Structure 1
Amino acid sequence: MLYLTCNADTAIAICRPHSLKKNKKPISPTQAHTLPLFAYSDILTATNAFSADTFLGKGSHGSVYKAVLQGGAFIAAVKKTKPSNEIEILSHVKSRRLVNLIGLCNDQTNCNINKLIVVEYMPNGSLHDLLHSPKTVGTPGWTARVRFAVHVAKAVRLLHSSEPPVIHRDIKSSNVLIDEKWKARLGDFGLAFRGHVADSRVPPAGTLGYLDPCYLAPGDLSPKSDVFSFGILLLEIASGRHAIDVRHSPPSLLDWAMPLVCRGEFREICDPRIGAPPDMAAFRRMMVLAARCVRSTAERRPTIAEVVECLTAARKNFEAPVMWLRMTGRVVKARGYPFPDWDRSEESVRRVLGGSRNSKRNGKVSSVLGVECGSGPAKHAVRCRSVGSGFLGEMKIKSVLERYPNQEFGSAGLL
């Protein structure tokens, strides 16, 4: 079954259908011409004649509608686009990190100007919706936000490294869609440029607040324009503020955040709905990276490959210690007791760990800790592997026991 959607603000939201195979490589021109062609009458029926009930939002070149195709077999998003741009790019670049094209349809109402494209549907909306929802409940935490940032950076890296390269030109939170596995995808290629920048003849385009100030003429286009937009997106992810918001002074996110970065006031940037992250050092590195991305001189900005490398390293510091979660999930099942409810948020895990997080080392079971646990006269030792000094020491095990004083534990190897 296919699951397809569209972001209500701008772009098409999609997720990879189960029937499609993962394919990180661009498809060949021969494959591009084998895309399914949908009959206009079928699209008209599937969208209820493009009624208001099926309207999902607007893309860069037209409206997007929900379409229930093949008698309800799958749902798709149908969008009007210019035939020379978005279709060309989506026909040659296909990835699980992008909005993938399913098929085409001629717009019989104006077939000389527009075509209809059918794309996959993503059920979890856009990153813009998640970041700027008025509801505090459901606001992404730091682990999710950094993960989304890494996903988008990798999508841009994929575009820039394709042959010929693709420059998106409209990277923003409303063009980042979240799939059924809560992975971020980059969508809406209506403004994208495919080719070498030396051949660029397209006029500057983008969205106010994300648009590179160095991009003033067709010849100024470069991959660093996408890097600038990504830097703004990174600040938006961290702060929860819009790129342009007239309710604040200054209204520009860039003008507000950069002085804070220069003064080292990183906590002031953090979204107040979720507070500061547990690892402020990692957050500081992420904000310095954002500042590098939005430098006024394009040549001084990092490449998107450097951005991916820096964010991937920072992401490890935001994630809860995997080994510790594995340990707590396997604590003693000898007597059939269910493991108690466990708050697995990154803040709680780090609180139990006392803030320490050392890298895992390959090692054998090196010791049996003399930690007594259980109730009654029968007491058992708890074992753990050596995973780095101070990471799963005696005090960590005691923390679990103190947290759950009424839980009876048997003896088991934790890892």
Structure 2
Amino acid sequence: MAEVKLDDLVVQVEGLDQDENKAGSGAYGYVFRVTVNGRLCIAKKLHNILLQEPSHGQKKNIVAKFRKECCILSGLDHPNVVGFVGVHYGRDKNDISLIMERLYSDLADFVETKPDTNFTTRICILYDVSKGLRYLHSLTPPLIHRDLTAPNILLTEDLTCQDRRLGNVQIH
């Protein structure tokens, strides 16, 4: 993949850091519903505590990994991988958010709310996941997904699968 400069990927967002737009949180960050040029998107932002508490070296490492994740995602292009929109800076260059397209549902919520989904639809979802993984593994160097779980698999309204947590990839 070609060298990417995050400053070339900056977008302006509306709705970031507003409690009513918080869509969830995980071990490393928050997810917010945001708007970019009228388009509904999702912003992934590191927990403030990760940026405030660690020693200077640890903080730089956390931010460096997140910046690398943004660069990797910006170079991916496949129908079964969630679309990268850009990055957004807050107070400073360490206050960075990853902006991705917003999709319909995650697989965990879908299975919970639609337990009677037919067999064909289930197979199609599995096939879409496998196509996304095959794409990641075919890259040079290959990307290895390290957190493939139902909440991290996103579905479009027509039930095409895309994965939102490619940040947990490992260059192998």
Q: TM-score, normalised by structure 2?
A: 0.78
2:112 aligns with 132
Number of residue equivalences: 153
Report if the CA contact (8 A) 1:57-1:63 is conserved.
yes
The residue type equivalent to 1:150 in the other structure is Y
Tell me by how many angstroms 1:181 deviates.
2.5
| Partner Cα distance (1:60, 1:105) in 2 | 20
Query: What do the CA deviations read for 1:15-70 (whole angstroms, capped 9, x no partner)?
Result: xxxxxxxxxxxxx526x44854124xxx3xx11x5222111112552111111233
Quick one: which amino acid aligns to residue 38 of structure 1? V
Q: Does 1:119 align with 2:100?
A: yes
For 1:85, what is the secondary structure of its paired residue? helix
Kindly state the Cα deviation for residue 84 of structure 1 after the two structures are TM-superposed: 3.7
- Offset of 1:80 from its aligned partner? 1.2
What SS does the corresponding residue of 2:109 show, helix, strand or coil? Answer: helix
82, 100, 108: which is aligned to 2:83?
Answer: 100
- Aligned-residue offset at 1:91: 2.2
Paired with 2:45 and 2:84, the residues of 1 have a C-alpha distance of 13
User: Whole-Å Cα distance in 2 between the matches of residues 96 and 63 of structure 1?
Assistant: 25
Q: Distance in 2 between matches of 1:52 and 1:141?
A: 37
Report the AA paired with residue 79 of structure 1. Answer: K
Q: Which amino acid aligns with 1:58?
A: S
CA positional deviation for 1:160? 1.0
Query: Quick one: percent identity of the two aligned structures?
Result: 24
Amino acid at match of 1:75: L
Q: Separation in 2 of the partners of 1:103 and 1:69? A: 9
The answer to whether the Cα contact below 8 Å between 1:126 and 1:178 also exists between their aligned partners in 2 is: yes
1:173 is aligned to 2:150: yes
Which of the two has greater strand per residue?
2
Unmatched 5+ residue regions in structure 2? 47-62
Cα distance between partner residues in 2 of 1:161 and 1:140: 31
Q: TM-score, normalised by structure 1?
A: 0.34
Q: Superposition pairs for residues 262-411 of structure 1, below 5 Å?
A: none
* In 2, Cα distance between equivalents of 1:156 and 1:144: 19
1:88 to partner: Cα distance: 2.6
Which residue type is aligned with residue 106 of structure 1?
Answer: Y
Preserved CA contact (<8 Å) 1:77 1:121: yes
The reply on whether 1:63 has 2:30 as its aligned counterpart is yes
Q: CA RMSD in A?
A: 2.2
> Partner of 2:2 in structure 1?
29
Q: Distance in 1 between matches of 2:126 and 2:166?
A: 19
1:75 is aligned to 2:55: no
Q: Distance in 2 between matches of 1:29 and 1:185?
A: 23
Greater relative contact order, per chain length (Cα 8 Å cut-off, separation 6+): 2
Q: Could you tell me how far apart the structure 1 residues matched to 2:27 and 2:131 are?
A: 22
Larger Rg: 1
The partner residue of 1:183 within 144, 160, 168 is: 160
- 2:11 maps to which residue? 38
CA contact (8 A) 1:176 1:187 kept: yes
Note the C-alpha offset of 1:76.
1.1
Note the C-alpha offset of 1:79: 1.1
Separation in structure 1 between the aligned mates of residue 34 and residue 158 of structure 2, nearest angstrom? 22
Q: State whether residues 122 and 179 of structure 1, in contact with CA within 8 Å, keep that contact through their aligned partners in structure 2.
A: yes
- Taking the aligned partners of 1:144 and 1:164, their CA distance within structure 2 comes to 32
Counterpart-to-counterpart distance in 2, 1:187 and 1:76: 12
Aligned to 1:159: 136
Residues 330-378 of structure 1: per-residue CA shift (max 9 Å, x gap): xxxxxxxxxxxxxxxxxxxxxxxxxxxxxxxxxxxxxxxxxxxxxxxxx
* CA displacement 1:162-221 (0-9 Å, x = unmatched): 101101100011111001332011221232112x3xxxxxxxxxxxxxxxxxxxxxxxxx
Amino acid at match of 2:76: V
CA contact (8 A) 1:85 1:193 kept: no
1:60, 1:140 → 2: CA distance? 30
CA distance 1:29–1:59, change in 2 (3 Å): farther
Q: Which structure 1 residue ranges, 5 or more long, are not aligned?
A: 1-27, 197-415
2:122 to 135, 141, 145: 145
State the one-letter code of the partner of 1:162: L
Q: State the 1:128 CA deviation.
A: 0.6
Given that 1:130 and 1:140 are in contact with CA atoms closer than 8 Å, whether structure 2 keeps it comes out as: no
